[in-house]
C-alpha cells in the first residue's frame, strides 16, 4: 500500500497468497481499475454489483486508486474499508459504511437505550402450561439464555409449580414473548423407544453350529435377478426393499426371472436362530426382558437374583444378608 499525504491518494495491492486472510469470500468476482477516484463512487459500484443499497457516513470521503482483477466483491469491499479505516454493517439489504469507532459508538448507544427500556418496561404475570417437558428444565433454560442485553436480574421472576408442571412468569412483554417461543419449540412429545433383549445360556461352540442364515440381494431394472447370498459370519444384512408378502415366498418376483426364496426382517432372524438353538440342545433362553424409554434416555435392563449369606457381628450374633448377582445392560437409544 502506498500513500501520498497531500492528495490523500492511496494505492491498494492484493497481499500475496501465503499471507492472505483465512476469511472465505463468496461474492461475484469483479475487476476494478481506477486512479484517484472518489471513495464513495467505488463503494457505490461495489454495492451495485452486490445488489445492496448504500448508506455512508459524512466521514466517508476522499479518493482512492486501486487495481483489482477477478476479485470477489466482498473481498474488494474489505480491502477498501481496511485502507480507509472504515467498517461496514449489512442489514435488510442495506450496506452501511462508516468509521469503525463511529459504528462502535452507535451500537453502544443502541445497547444502552435498549437496556434502559428493558429496566423501565412494565412487568406482567403469565401462566404457561407445559405438557411434555419438565417445567423446571424450561425455566432454568430460559433464565440462562435470556440475559436480556445486560438488564438487571432483580426485575421479574420465573417460578415453577411442580404439582401442575406449569411456569409462572412475572416478566416484561418482550421476555414473556421469548419464554413463549422457548416453550412452543421445546415442549413437544419425545419419541418412545422399546428395547428388547434376549438373555441366553449357550454352549461355547454354539456359533459353529447355528445352522442356516439367510442373505438377500435385490437388483432393480429390466432383467434384474433376485438371488441368495452365501451364509455370512455374523448376520446377513436385510434387504433394502423388502416386500409386503408372506414370510416365505416360493414364487417368482414380478418382472424378473429370479426365484424369491425368503425375506427375513427385524428380529425374525434372531428368533429363528434362538429357537433352533433350544431345539438342538445348544442352550436355552433365560428371559426376554423389554423396557420402554424416551429417545436419548439411558435404559437399564437387569436380570439376576439375590444370594443370601450369613454375617456375624462382634457380639457373636448372626444375620442373613443378600448380595445381588445379576446381569445388567444399559442402552441409550
Q: Is the pLDDT of residue 246 over 50?
A: no
- The predicted structure's pLDDT at residue 4: 45
CATH number for the domain formed by residue range(s) 121-186: 3.30.1370.120
- The SS3 call for residue 136 is helix
> Quick check: 249 and 260 in contact, CB under 8 A?
yes
CATH 3.55.50.30 domain locations along the chain: 2-103
Cell reading at 95: 450496506
Mean pLDDT of 67-89: 92
Handedness of CA 127, 128, 134, 137 (dihedral sign): negative
Q: What is the CA radius of gyration of the chain?
A: 36
Dist. CA 100–CA 250, nearest whole Å: 78
Question: Which pLDDT value is given to residue 44?
Answer: 94
CATH class assigned to 2-103: alpha beta
Other C-beta atoms within 10 Å of 45: how many?
17
User: From the CB of residue 60, how many other CB atoms can be counted at a distance below 10 Å?
Assistant: 18
What pLDDT is recorded for position 150?
40
**CA distance linking residue 307 with residue 167, whole number of Å:** 47
Residue where the block lists cell 428493558: 118
Section 278-302 average pLDDT: 80
The average pLDDT across 130-144 equals: 89
Residue 99 pairs in a beta bridge with 86
Res. 15 pLDDT band, cuts 50 70 90: low
- Beta-strand runs (E) in the chain: 2-4, 9-12, 29-38, 53-56, 63-72, 86-91, 94-99, 123-129, 157-161, 166-172, 192-196, 199-202, 283-287, 290-294, 299-312, 318-331
Q: CB–CB of 282/192 below 8 Å? A: no
Q: What percent of the chain has pLDDT over 70?
A: 71
- Which ranges constitute the DSSP H helices of 187-280? 268-279
pLDDT tens, residue by residue, 113-126 = 888 887 788 889 99
Contact 292, 194 (CB under 8 A): yes
Given a contact cutoff of 8 angstroms between Cβ atoms, the answer to whether 39 and 64 are in contact is: yes
Comma-separated ranges of CATH 3.30.1370.120 domains in the chain: 121-186
Looking at residue 48, its pLDDT comes to 93
Of the candidates 221, 220, 219, which has an alpha carbon nearest to the alpha carbon of residue 229? 219
Amino acid at each position: 500500500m502506498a500513500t501520498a499525504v497531500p492528495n490523500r491518494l492511496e494505492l491498494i495491492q492484493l497481499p500475496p497468497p501465503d499471507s492472505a486472510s483465512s476469511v472465505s469470500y463468496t461474492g461475484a468476482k469483479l475487476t476494478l481499475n481506477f486512479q484517484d477516484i472518489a471513495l464513495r463512487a467505488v463503494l457505490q459500484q461495489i454495492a451495485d454489483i452486490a445488489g445492496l443499497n448504500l448508506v455512508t457516513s459524512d466521514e466517508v470521503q476522499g479518493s482512492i486508486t486501486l487495481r483489482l482483477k477477478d476479485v470477489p466483491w466482498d473481498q474488494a469491499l474489505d480491502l477498501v474499508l481496511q485502507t480507509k479505516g472504515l467498517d461496514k454493517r449489512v442489514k435488510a439489504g442495506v450496506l452501511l459504511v462508516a468509521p469503525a469507532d463511529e459504528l462502535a459508538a452507535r451500537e453502544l448507544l443502541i445497547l444502552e437505550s435498549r437496556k434502559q427500556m428493558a429496566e423501565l418496561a412494565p412487568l406482567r404475570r403469565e401462566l404457561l402450561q407445559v405438557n411434555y417437558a419438565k417445567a423446571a428444565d424450561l425455566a432454568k433454560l430460559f433464565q440462562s439464555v435470556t440475559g436480556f442485553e445486560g438488564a438487571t436480574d432483580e426485575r421479574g421472576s420465573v417460578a415453577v409449580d411442580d404439582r401442575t408442571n406449569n411456569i409462572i412468569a412475572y416478566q416484561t412483554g418482550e421476555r414473556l414473548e421469548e419464554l413463549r417461543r422457548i416453550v412452543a419449540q421445546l415442549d413437544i412429545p419425545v419419541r418412545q423407544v422399546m428395547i428388547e433383549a434376549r438373555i441366553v445360556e449357550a454352549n461355547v461352540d454354539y456359533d459353529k453350529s447355528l445352522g442356516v442364515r439367510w442373505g438377500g440381494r435385490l437388483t432393480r431394472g429390466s432383467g434384474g435377478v433376485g438371488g441368495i447370498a452365501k451364509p455370512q459370519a455374523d448376520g446377513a444384512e436385510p434387504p433394502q426393499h423388502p416386500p409386503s408378502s408372506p414370510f416365505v415366498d416360493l414364487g417368482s418376483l414380478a418382472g424378473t426371472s429370479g426365484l424369491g426364496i425368503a425375506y427375513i426382517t427385524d428380529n425374525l432372524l434372531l428368533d429363528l436362530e434362538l429357537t433352533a438353538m433350544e431345539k438342538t440342545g445348544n442352550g436355552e433362553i433365560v428371559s426376554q426382558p423389554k423396557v420402554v424409554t424416551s429417545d436419548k434416555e439411558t435404559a437399564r435392563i437387569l436380570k439376576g437374583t439375590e444370594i443370601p449369606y450369613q454375617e456375624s457381628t462382634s457380639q457373636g450374633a448372626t444375620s442373613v444378608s443378600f448380595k445381588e448377582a445379576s446381569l445388567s445392560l444399559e442402552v441409550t437409544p
